Structure 1
Amino acid sequence: MEAILLRTYGPGGVNGKLLFYGEEICRTLELPWKENKPGVSCIPEGSYALRRRFSPRFKNHFEILGVPGRKYILFHAGNDAVKELRGCIAPVLQHTGEGRGLHSRMALQKMKDRLYPVLDKGINLTLTIKEAKS
């Protein structure tokens, strides 16, 4: 199964829409593209495995696997990419600017409600990231 992240790039951050079976789950925030440099850049476009992950800091969230030259790329809550992300992706319900948004915890819960049941059945879930068509 595949979730699709459609990105719109800006100098202040990357905004996106996360789709599953053509239905929007939430919006997303990422750092601007800076040649995939760890900690300061969004990850490259492409297809990656997505899995459930738990950590004491972020509790239940998602991890994106197989990113070239990177590890621990997560989907976790955050409303400001520059202040709260180090290369990860934050779900939000609404964009308020480049790399900024609102209600990230609610958006992450929507993601978990929609995607955890798929993963819990042992079904492989792929995240495909590409640029949004204007």
Structure 2
Amino acid sequence: MVLLITRTYFPEGTNGNLEYEGKLICKTIELPWMENQKKVSCIPEGKYLLQKRYSKKFKWHIEIMNVSNRTSILFHPANNAIKELNGCIAPVTKISGAGLGLMSRKAFTKLRTIVYRALDEKQRVLIIIKS
């Protein structure tokens, strides 16, 4: 399975469209591009493997693997990139501004269902991030 995020960058945050086979799954919000600095920047464009991950804070969510100079980069619910993200990606139902979105939990549940189904079928799940 190959997912695609197409980003648009703004000084206040990064917005994206997350698609599978040409169909929109959800929108995304991230921190602005700040040269891949930990906790203040979105991650670099590229190809990454996804896997299941569990934590007390986010319960079952999705981890983005092998991000250069970064660890624990996740897909998890959030509606404000600056206030709620440390480099992770938040699926949202609707964009409400640069790095801002609405109904993140709904979008996250949809994305997690699609990704977990593929992983349970032993598929490799790859995400491509580009602008």
Q: Give me the whole-angstrom Cα distance separating, in 2, the residues matched to 1:129 and 1:99.
A: 16
Q: Secondary structure at the match of 1:4?
A: strand
The answer to whether the aligner puts 1:87 opposite 2:83 as a matched pair is no
Q: After the TM superposition, which residues 7-26 of structure 1 pair with which residues of structure 2 at under 5 Å, given as runs? A: 7-26=7-26
Structure 1: 4+ residue segments shifted above 2 A:
none
- Structure 1 residue matching 2:24: 3-state secondary structure: strand
Task: Count residues in correspondence.
Answer: 131
Letter in 2 for 1:5: I
Matched with 1:104 is 104
Letter in 1 for 2:82: V
Residue 34 in 1 paired to residue 39 in 2? no
RMSD of aligned C-alpha atoms?
Answer: 0.6
Q: Please give the TM-score of this superposition, normalised by the length of structure 1.
A: 0.96
Letter in 1 for 2:87: G
Instruction: Normalising by structure 2, report the TM-score.
Output: 0.98
Shift of 1:47: 0.1
Gaps in structure 2 of 5+ consecutive residues: none
Q: For residue 51 of structure 2, what is the aligned residue in structure 1?
A: 51
Determine helix, strand or coil for the equivalent of 2:82.
helix
Q: Which residue of 2 aligns with 1:68?
A: 68
Amino acid at match of 2:55: S
Q: Distance in 1 between matches of 2:126 and 2:113?
A: 17
**Per-residue CA shift, 1:46-93, capped at 9, x if unaligned?**
000011111110011100001000000000000000000000000000
Q: Structure 1 stretches of 5 or more lacking a match?
A: none
Give the letter aligned to residue 68 of structure 1.
S
SS, match of residue 86 in structure 1:
coil
* Percent identity over paired residues: 50
Moved more, 113-122 or 34-43: 113-122
